[in-house]
Structure 1
């Protein structure tokens, strides 16, 4: 029987490719956020640029406001945005389709008052 002096790398490469596929799959789920928001659908949906980390604001079906993953009131959000956001900061809005439209209008009014105009509204692609 012939003895091998080298390590067979093919099984190692197979395992690494499987692990890479698992990491890439789970990474796409993590980026969606932890706040459950039932987004409205749209025909034209584009991805925001990845130049800088966007600031995410969400309103869920219970009409609760979230700045990132932190639940805040509209007044608290105004104070936190003064500290965290600059006029060029990309702000991604995730609004549940069951949320009251009045809350969306109040949020937009707050952002305009602080001159935060770089907005992106997140939606789901229509099937």
Structure 2
């Protein structure tokens, strides 16, 4: 024997450690499972339960879509206490879409008569949503004591 020691060379390991990826995937799975029930479809409405919060005073006057007791639709885009010409839903959708394109930060609210059918208010809200309104609010009167 020569006295020389021969070293065996190790080959580099060419495997990927997938444990961190599995951890990340499990966390994402839990996040999606928690948030999935929170995502709902349909018209989003926050109904007031009494005294409603007023719109900020520094905001532009909202676009007001109204339904009167007979079920006629009106649009007030100027903040001048309402329009006097009834509109069809298609006309209202066209006008509101144009207003939202011009001023996307403006609020849109629905003012419905207390005697009007719930279906008429829902049809108006669906029309506003299809016109591109991101959120629709409901106008209320202060409670009388």
TM value normalised by structure 1: 0.60
Indicate conservation of the 8 Å contact 2:74/2:87, yes or no. Answer: yes
**How far 1:42 sits from its partner (Å)?**
4.9
Unaligned runs of at least 5 residues, structure 1: 1-40
Matched position secondary structure for 2:120: helix
For 2:134 and 2:113, the matched residues in 1 are separated by: 21
For 2:67 and 2:94, the matched residues in 1 are separated by: 17
Aligned mate of 1:108, from 118, 122, 125: 125
Residue 11 of structure 1: aligned partner: none
Q: Tell me the number of residue pairs that the alignment of Structure 1 and Structure 2 aligns.
A: 87
Which of the pair has more CA radius of gyration?
2
**Mapping of residues 1-127 of structure 1, within 5 Å:** 42-50=49-57, 51-68=59-76, 69=83, 70-86=85-101, 87-126=104-143, 127=145
Normalized per residue, the structure richer in strand is 1
CA RMSD of aligned residues (A): 1.9
Indicate conservation of the 8 Å contact 2:73/2:88, yes or no. Answer: yes
More contact order relative to length (CA 8 Å, sep ≥ 6): 1
